Structure 1
Amino acid sequence: MEAKLIALGVETFKTALILALPGLLTGMFIGLAVSIFQATTQINEMTLSFIPKIIGVVIVIILTMPWMLNVMTDFSTNVFNMMTEFIE
C-alpha cells in the first residue's frame, strides 16, 4: 500500500515536471538570447528581458496545450482508476 502511494507521488512529480518543461525551457532560452543581445549591444534595460519571455512562454503554452491536456487527462484517469486500490 505504501509503495503504491510513493509511486503515485513520484508519478505526480514527474507529470508536473513534464508539463512545466516546455514553458521553463522557452523562458530559459529566450532569457539567454536576450542576455547575449544585451551584452553585445550594452543595453541594460531590465524590462527588455520580461516581454519576450512572457510572449514566448504564452506562445509555447498555447501550442503545447493539446498535448498537455492529454497528459493531464491520462494522469487523472490513472489516479481515478487507482482510487479503488487505496480505499479499504
Structure 2
Amino acid sequence: MNIESALYWLQEMLVAVAVLCAPAMIGALVVGLTVAIFQAATSIQEMTLSYVPKMAVVVIVLFFMFGFMLQFSVDFMQRIFDFIPQIAQ
C-alpha cells in the first residue's frame, strides 16, 4: 500500500463518517436552534426542554435513516474488502 492509496482510504473513511453522522446531527441542530429561539422568546429556561426534543428527534431520524445508513456502511465495507487483495501485490 502506497501513500496515495492510504490517503484515499483515509479520505473515504472521513466522508463515510460525515455521511453517517450528518442526518442525526442536522436534526439535533435544527431542533436545538428552534428550542433556543422559543426559550429566548418566552423566557422559559427549563433545562429538560432543550434535551428531550433533541433526543426524540435523533431517535426518529435514526429510525427512518437506519436503512440508508446500514446500506452505506455495508457498501463501504464491501469496497474495503474488495481492496484488501490489492494490498498484497
Which TM-score applies when normalising by structure 1? 0.96
Does residue 59 (structure 1) correspond to residue 56 (structure 2)? The answer is no
Deviation at 1:86, TM superposition (A): 1.5
Percent of aligned pairs sharing the same letter: 32
* Matching residue of 1:29: 30
Counterpart in 2 of 1:73? 74
Q: Shift of residue 47 of structure 1?
A: 1.6
- Which moved further from structure 2: 22-31 or 38-47? 38-47
| Distance (whole Å) between structure 2 residues aligned to residue 34 and residue 5 of structure 1 | 42
Where has structure 1 moved over 3 Å in runs of 4 or more? none
CA distance in 2, matches of 1:27, 1:87: 43
Q: Structure 2: how far apart are the matches of 1:39 and 1:12?
A: 39
SS of alignment partner, residue 45 of structure 1: coil
> Which residue identity does 1:45 align to in structure 2?
E
For these two proteins, the number of residue pairs brought into alignment is: 88
Measure, in 1, the Cα distance between the counterparts of 2:88 and 2:46.
Answer: 56
The residue type equivalent to 1:66 in the other structure is G
Q: CA deviation at 1:87?
A: 2.5
Aligned to 2:16: 15
Task: State the superposition RMSD in angstroms.
Answer: 0.8
Structure 2: 5+ residue runs without aligned partners? none
Q: Partners in 2 of 1:44 and 1:77 — Cα distance?
A: 48
